[in-house]
Chain A
Amino acid sequence: MTTNSTQNGGPSRTLGRLLKAGALGLVLFAFGTLAFQSGIWNTVYSKVSGIPDTDQQGIEDQALANRTAMQAAREACLKDVQSDPPPVPVSADGYYAPPAESAIPDTPFGESIRRGRDIFVNTGEHAPRFVGNSQSCANCHLDGGRKEHSAPLWGAYPLYPAFRGKNQKVNTFQDRIKGCFTYSMNAQASPSGGPPPLGSDVYVDLESYAFWLADGVPTGAKVPGAGYPKVAKTELGYDYERGEEVFTANCALCHGDDGQGRREADGRLRFPPLWGAEAYNWGAGMSRINTAAAFIKANMPLSKPNSLTDQEAWDVAAYISSFERPKDPRQTGTVEENRARYHDGDDIYYGQEVRGKILGAGVSREQTSAASAQ
């Protein structure tokens, strides 16, 4: 090295080289920083790693462009009914793309949409008179009723009015939501003692929200992602005892070992209870094992949809349905009579013996607080 450096020109030469190197270092550094900040790095990284570069702006822009195309086609239709029908706005993952929350208009109608959204997301706070448990609409219709495969509002709204077997008559959208208040929200135990009467502002606001979310789905059209996707029956059938293991391993973290959900330190509910007095009642769709399995497979554990096998989904659905919950509000006579009348042939433990007890008598908040006071 020493011979080398004398050969190459001694200290002054070395200093010069050092300076040059320093300058080059700076340039390299600046170049690297610029390259990183320009976003090239992310793009290359996502190409090489296969992890998608989720450019939120890009996704929103695409959905927005789709909506703009829809508006343009609508205007074309005004001049000529025969022109191409407006396209359905579709998101990057191939499902209908509801409008962004920021697009709620600042009009009296927009106010109603916002109220509807608030009721939907935090029902106990915004419609307290009609809620008899610790549930919100959005607990079962995820992402504020936007998420595909969790019975999104945009999948339901265009399909009403419709004839429903559950009550043997033509139901309006209001009737449909009334059903969810009656059963899923257990309105019988609410301060008002029942669901909001038809025509109530609660329904109007929820309808505004649903209409706005569904603005783009053709009336009467059933689109992909609506409802809960059915889970195929398995050879083994369902078994609540097998389901207990699935529950402990996958669900108790959030819903608690006792299924009573979890609250924050200030008492606000964070994870909903799945059975007991604070859950949906025996008349709710979710208390049927097939419906619960469908919801669970597509939505639970939260953030990991479709991670359970069909068998696990059936078993864990059976497990959460094997405990008492508030009584079926339609029951007038005995549980047996009510079972024959409303639950015959359903996948449900209502009126059956589980762990040595006939299920269906129901639990109420009074019973629960009396039991815990003892």
Chain B
Amino acid sequence: MKRREKSVNHIAQVNENFEPWEPNQPIPIFVIALVFALSIWGALTYLSEFGTVHDKTGPETSPAAPSTSPTTEAQGLESASPEVLKLVYSGKDNMWSCPSCHGAAGEGSASTPRLAGQVADYLFKQLEDFHNGSRDDASMAYVVDALRVDERRALADYYAQIPLPSGVAPTLGGDLDRGQILAEAGDWEQNVPACFQCHGGNGEGVEPSFPGLAGQHPQYTFVQLARWHAGARGNSPQALMDGISQALTPNDMRAVADYLATLPLEPVQQAH
């Protein structure tokens, strides 16, 4: 009842010629609602990412999912000169160390990519691209600018030689059957060859230019495809990935990113 009185009072003060609503109400409600929506969304996103990083035992879809930590499974973590190891683990000047974002064994998480076992020349090219700005990422640009070119080469080679089994599983709710078709057969009507035609028969990459996709975090894969789709990543040789990503719908990207996360990473049988 008190409330009614107040609003009656309130209305009495208002200029009669003016539209009879409370002018400051609709906008704050809308803004507050938005803030709430955003923060809930943020919290959910955080929770889901937090879940994938820490829930290494979870996924039923990947029977080989490791129950041990990446550092105990990875090999070659120490096979580099002391200078390179120092660079990796302690960073340099103000630069953050690589493991602070990419994980102790280069296993990555969510939208920070796995580096372990990736094609060496590809990693090096990316570091150069972050450096010359053709690939745009604020944190990596900051990190890379603190490094000399020989250090970039050494870091690329260091991460490339770390064999590490896949520790990922689908997280995006993509259609795995559709993902498999895209990965193995492509969608030629859209000029999308099979991903495996360029990225290797099991998605393990082809030296020197084609990165491995198997074992990569599905969020990261999805984000990269989305960036090419939107024109926000521009460093693919001959703009190959630009054309391919632009032909994919968001559902296709989810599907293929998730499917690639189901692949085991077999240790490579060296050719003789």
Return B43 CB to nearest CB of chain A, in Å: 11
**Contact status B201-A303, CB under 8 Å:** no
Q: Smallest CB-CB separation from B39: which chain A residue?
A: A25
Known contacts being A25-B33, A26-B36, is A303 close to B271, with CB within 8 Å? Answer: no
Judged by a CB distance under 8 angstroms, whether A331 is at the interface is no
Chain B's closest residue to A301 (CB) is: B238
- Render A16-50 as a binary contact track against B, CB cut-off 8 A, 1 for contact: 01101110111011001000000100100110000
In the complex, the chain B residue whose C-beta lies closest to that of A101 is B185
Judged by a CB distance under 8 angstroms, whether A146 is at the interface is yes
| Total count of chain B residues near the partner, CB < 8 A | 52
**Closest A residue, CB atoms, query B2:** A9
A264 contacts across to B, CB distance below 8 A: 200-201, 204, 206
Interfacial chain B residues near A26, Cβ < 8 Å: 36-37, 40
- The answer to whether B34 touches A147 (Cβ under 8 A) is no
Stretch of A160-168, A213-221, A265-273 with 4 or more beta carbons under 8 angstroms from chain B: A265-273
Q: Are A301 and B36 closer than 8 Å at their CB atoms?
A: no
Contact in complex: A21, B36 (CB < 8 Å) = yes
Set of chain A residues within 8 Å of B243, measured between Cβ atoms: 303-304
A332 located at the interface, meaning its Cβ lies under 8 Å from any Cβ of chain B in the complex? no
> Which one of A9, A42, A253, A302 lies within 8 Å of B193 (CB-CB)?
A302
Contact bitstring B122-166, A, C-beta under 8 A = 1, else 0: 000000000000000000000000000000000000000000000
Cross-chain contact A267 with B40 (CB below 8 angstroms): no
Q: B36 to A270, Cβ gap below 8 A? A: no
B201-A268 in contact (CB<8A):
yes
Number of interface residues of A (CB under 8 A): 51
With beta carbons under 8 angstroms apart, the residue of B34, B187, B272 that contacts A56 is: B187
Q: Which residues of B165-200 have CB atoms within 8 Å of chain A's CB atoms?
A: 178, 181, 185-193, 197-198, 200
Q: Are B191 and A303 in contact (CB under 8 A)?
A: yes
A13 CB within 8 Å of chain B: yes
For B63, the chain A residues whose CB sits under 8 A away are none
B68 within 8 A of A: no
In the assembled complex, which residues on chain B have CB atoms less than 8 Å from the CB atom of A42? 249-251
Once the chains are docked, how many angstroms separate the CA of A18 from the CA of B31?
11
The answer to whether A59 touches B238 (Cβ under 8 A) is no
Once the chains are docked, how many angstroms separate the CA of A147 from the CA of B243? 18
Contacts of B6 in A (CB 8 A): 7-9
Q: Indicate if A4 sits at the interface (CB-CB under 8 A).
A: yes
In whole angstroms, what is the CA distance A53 to B253 when docked? 12
Q: Which residue, B2, B24, B198, B209, has most C-beta atoms of chain A within 10 A? A: B198
**Residues of chain A from 134 to 160 with CB closer than 8 A to chain B in the complex:** 142-143, 146-147
Q: How far is the CB of A285 from chain B (nearest CB, A)?
A: 22
Any chain B CB within 8 A of the CB of A85? no
Is A93 an interface residue, CB under 8 A from the partner? yes
Residue of A nearest to B6 (CB): A9
- The residue of chain B having its C-beta at the shortest distance from the C-beta of A27 within the complex is B33
Judged by a CB distance under 8 angstroms, whether B73 is at the interface is: no
Listed by A's residue number, 14 A-B pairs whose Cβ atoms lie within 8 Å are A17-B28, A24-B29, A51-B246, A54-B249, A91-B189, A143-B185, A143-B188, A146-B188, A263-B271, A265-B268, A265-B269, A267-B272, A303-B192, A303-B244
